[in-house]
A and B are shown apart, each in its own frame.
Chain A
């Protein structure tokens, strides 16, 4: 079954045509990697899917419902969770609080946005009242979610569990990235969007992250993954979509995309133009 589909999506920033008619589909349980040189439009595509921004043309469907143009907070309610390229943890919240925040939409309808004006006012008042009274049901839910947050964090072995109550700003960069992933998982997303989850990580840490992504795959998690590190892409992706200058250059099975000459050209062409070349392109060149 097709979970997410992006149809003929365009996005412009002033004169810059950042996405030019991108199409993409994600099957349930599938992992699709999006690769491409700097500025190809990968993050822009994520911003559109997660409703952080809206497309100028085209449509995006999740589970058959159009989501493009929705306010960003409703995308979360539809089951989309993402990480950010540069990492955006809540610095002064503890690791545990960061992860619990990821479960914000799962507080038993309490955080339901409410439809229509009267509905949303009532929902907000109810939320205030519950938070003050804190009935047993409510406290039990909080406890369950806390338990679940610990489970999620134990995915990372001993990296985060001992730091449960430390503020996120005190963590190492890699640990912040892990916290961010844990936060996204706490939403129990239908589609998980990972924007360069291993950026800034050393080879050991990257290897660890690869294993974690594989664990998630085994659990049936559907995801879109932006990644420059080709080893990781080859290890986890069911399909690869290569973007260049806002267009899908090649897509298909990883080994086929990898050996496509157009891809190498895209990277090398960029280098000629003075852009930085990600390490994946170097690998690509060697293999080509």
Chain B
């Protein structure tokens, strides 16, 4: 009992250090900084280098971490936030995700993908307190958390710079008019938040005695959850939220088992987003005031091709296996077609309906598991499962997303991320059905009427055929009144609703159809890999697919497929790119949003 409480407090302190940064950045920049966990990770590595390589004592190591991660925080602001300040918060969400992706993968290349041991240079003594044990490190972490909170409070409420930060957070325009240099405030906030995050990374490394390049992902998740619990933008709220999260986790680990730590965090995240999106302590917000006119973001229109071009490309793609004797390009292209299907389906949500979804991998996972279970447990043939599984996945997907569909922008995006994670965590924990972490193996190869498809050419054609169906359906939908309704929601939800477009229904339709084809892609992959596990389709896949549609052009099916082909084929054909694949995705995402936000296959007008 005491142990859990103490444990929860210590972990809560660590979360608080990341959460205050996330909440402060949200206040001044209006974005949930998805690169925050990566700054934390870099901080941990800086500390590890100082301690394990240079054998520095802890205090100078901490100072180095503070300085280094503040610099990284600044870099994120300069490269991924400031240039996009006017582009809107959902774009900022994407650019910070990209920055995080770049850092995480750069860290793998620089320091290696393996876990590094980090031994604490602190004295190892501990003592008993009311039935629990307290170590020196525990005390150190508590002191660091409380000290930071106090310093931050003094800064915000006692200094001129702190006043500027608060003014900017309250109303950026008004602050500008009062002569606040909001750019400096933004830099300052990112630097401070970065320093706290780095410190937190180092302390977590010391606490668990190890660090690894992808450790930032869970920090972003936990920090965001804590910040949301407290209400985004609210610093004391974030600290409170961090304690709530830390203690809840500690007790659920005790009572339910250690695999529930992350599941509990996800449940809290989704719960707060759906039931109290403004945090546990704030009141309900009233109707938003009417926007002033003239804030349109032009979306670009699909490039026009000569009439014969698309059919000609389609026919040549179908005929390709006849001319290629080398199976390798066919295998790569088959994967590209499956990703094209995912991209086309995501485009319906993110391009046509204008909602950023970060959980597309969840739909793919649903389809893959549905088919794996239906074919191996219930003996359904592949051909039937290819039809049934997507329906099943779409139904489950819509059911899961439904409560979240009234959220907008970043809030919906974060919820979809949470749902995506939740789906793989359920796959991980529901062992009776999914075989848990072992995954499901020996999934039958795809095939029709007893003839299995095993050749690369066969897989290629199957994938292409399903892709064509997907493109055709999405194209028809998007040209019908439904497409119009979805776009109207993207442009202005209030006006759309005033003309009879029930937001829940039409968003459900977009998510449902999208989930259907994402799941079909999952079915194809499950049967061609013959094996799936809870971590086969991850958050990284969701981001990869998003990158494809930003590259190809939002609301443009041809662009989505082209984006998929480029992003899949390019790293395969240029060997040395393989290792840098995700860095390339990150750079492409930022670069496209900066220099060609319409995508390659849309034109400005």
Contact = CB atoms under 8 A, between A and B. Distances in A.
A187 interface: yes
B500 interface: yes
Max count, chain A CB within 10 A of own CB: residue among B299, B491, B501, B512: B491
A176 B481 CA distance: 21
Interface string A73-115: 1111100011011111111110001001110110100110100
A84 B498 CA distance: 10
B286 A13 contact: yes
B492 A92 contact: no
Contact of B291 (A72, A86, A131): A86
A71 interface: yes
Contacts of B499: 73, 76, 81, 101-102, 104-105, 183, 187
Contacts of A131: 476-477, 480-483
B287 A167 contact: no
Contacts of B490: 92
A62 B476 CA distance: 37
Contact of A90 (B286, B290, B297, B491): B491
A170 to B, nearest CB: 8
A100 B481 contact: yes
Interface residues of B, number: 42
A104 B500 CA distance: 7
Given A73-B501, A88-B492, A92-B296, A101 B485 contact: yes
Interface stretch (B119-127, B232-240, B502-510, B584-592): B502-510
Contacts of B605: 170
Given A85-B290, A88-B492, A101-B488, A142 B505 contact: no
Interface string B457-496: 0000000000000000100110011111101101110111
A168 B499 CA distance: 17
Contacts of A176: 293
Contacts of A84: 290, 494-495
Contact of A127 (B290, B291, B492, B509): B509
A113 B502 contact: yes
A128 B491 contact: no
Interface in A29-56: 43, 47, 50, 52-53
Contacts of A113: 502, 505
Nearest to A50: B498
B33 to A, nearest CB: 28
Contacts of A77: 500
Interface string A239-255: 00000000000000000
B298 interface: yes
A30 B494 CA distance: 27
A134 interface: yes
Given A87-B293, A93-B488, A101-B488, A75 B480 contact: no
B292 interface: yes
Interface string A52-76: 1100000000000000000111111
A84 B492 CA distance: 12
Contact of A47 (B287, B294, B477, B505): B287
Contact of A92 (B476, B487, B494, B508): B487
Contact of B497 (A72, A120, A127, A183): A72
A173 interface: yes
B513 interface: yes
A124 B500 contact: no
A132 interface: yes
B491 A93 contact: yes
Nearest to B395: A121
A85 B473 CA distance: 38
A39 to B, nearest CB: 12
B473 A132 contact: yes
Nearest to B482: A131
A201 B473 CA distance: 44
Contacts of B492: 88-91
A110 B506 CA distance: 13
A270 B222 CA distance: 51
Contacts of B296: 91-92, 168-169
Interface in B376-390: none
B185 to A, nearest CB: 29
Contacts of B505: 113, 120, 124
A14 interface: yes
A90 B494 CA distance: 11
Contact of B476 (A101, A134, A142): A134
Nearest to B476: A132
A76 B291 CA distance: 21
Interface in B289-321: 290-294, 296-299, 301
A131 B477 CA distance: 6
Contacts of A14: 286
A280 to B, nearest CB: 21
A124 B287 contact: no
Interface in B153-194: none
A120 B506 CA distance: 11
Contact of A88 (B473, B494, B503): B494
A113 B299 CA distance: 29
Given A43-B290, A52-B494, A92-B487, A128 B298 contact: no
A128 B287 contact: no
Contacts of B497: 52, 71-73, 76
Contacts of A72: 494, 497-498
A104 B501 contact: yes
Nearest to A80: B498
A169 B500 contact: no
Given A52-B494, A73-B500, A86-B291, A128 B299 contact: no
B160 to A, nearest CB: 31
A86 B294 CA distance: 9
Given A97-B484, A102-B499, A173 B286 contact: no
A73 B503 contact: yes
A124 B498 contact: no
Contacts of A105: 499-500
Contacts of A101: 484-485, 488, 496, 499, 501
Contacts of A170: 605
A53 B482 CA distance: 26
B293 A173 contact: yes
Contacts of A88: 290-291, 492, 494-495
B190 to A, nearest CB: 32
B509 A128 contact: yes
B484 A86 contact: no
B298 A169 contact: yes
Contacts of A92: 296, 298-299, 487, 490-491
A88 B294 CA distance: 9
B292 to A, nearest CB: 6
Nearest to B354: A92
A237 to B, nearest CB: 24
A243 B358 CA distance: 48
Nearest to B490: A92
Contacts of A173: 293-294
B298 A167 contact: yes
Contact of B484 (A52, A73, A87, A100): A100
Contacts of A97: 484, 487
A274 B344 CA distance: 55
B402 to A, nearest CB: 11
B290 A86 contact: yes
A97 B505 CA distance: 20
21 contacts: A14-B286, A52-B287, A52-B498, A71-B502, A81-B498, A82-B498, A85-B290, A86-B290, A88-B492, A89-B495, A90-B492, A91-B298, A92-B299, A101-B484, A104-B501, A111-B485, A127-B482, A128-B513, A131-B480, A142-B481, A187-B500
Given A128-B477, A131-B477, 10 more contacts: A72-B498, A73-B499, A73-B503, A76-B500, A82-B498, A88-B291, A90-B487, A92-B491, A102-B499, A124-B505
Sort A-B residue pairs by CB-CB distance and give the 6 closest, nearest first: A91-B296, A76-B500, A131-B480, A169-B296, A90-B491, A105-B500
